[in-house]
Amino acid sequence: MSKTNLHANRPLSPHLQIYKPIPTMVMSIVHRITGGALYFGTLLVAWWLIAASTNEDYFNFVNAIYGSWIGRLVLLGYTWALIHHMIGGIRHLIWDTGRGLEKETTTKMAWASLVLSVILTILVWIAAFTIA
């Protein structure tokens, strides 16, 4: 038997185009994406801290970038990613205890993590603009 015949009868692995997206699957994907985005966002925080530790002109330059409309949009996205990833982590922590694994509960938790992350992001930004 040739090597190609051994692999010809094997089933194809399922992939995203086979599965119908469900809330828990989508939130799992978003959790991974936000985790990756946090690496980039952490570089932005580090840049700001480095600017704060150098001189006033450089700090003002970085603040001007972060204060522009595109800078604020990136910071808004970073805030949401941070909060959403944290809530997703809490959701996984709950699952690690063996609780909330029923299909209906996981779906509710997936929607709740999305809604809660948006609400908390809005509240953080309202607090930031109220204090500043």
Token pair 């970085």: residue: 62
| Number of Cβ within a 10 Å radius of residue 34 | 23
The binding site consists of: 85
The binding site for heme consists of: 85
Per-residue CA distances from 60 to 19, 35, 44, 57 (Å): 49, 29, 15, 5
Those residues with Cβ within 8 angstroms of residue 120's Cβ, 6 or more apart along the chain or in another chain: 83, 87
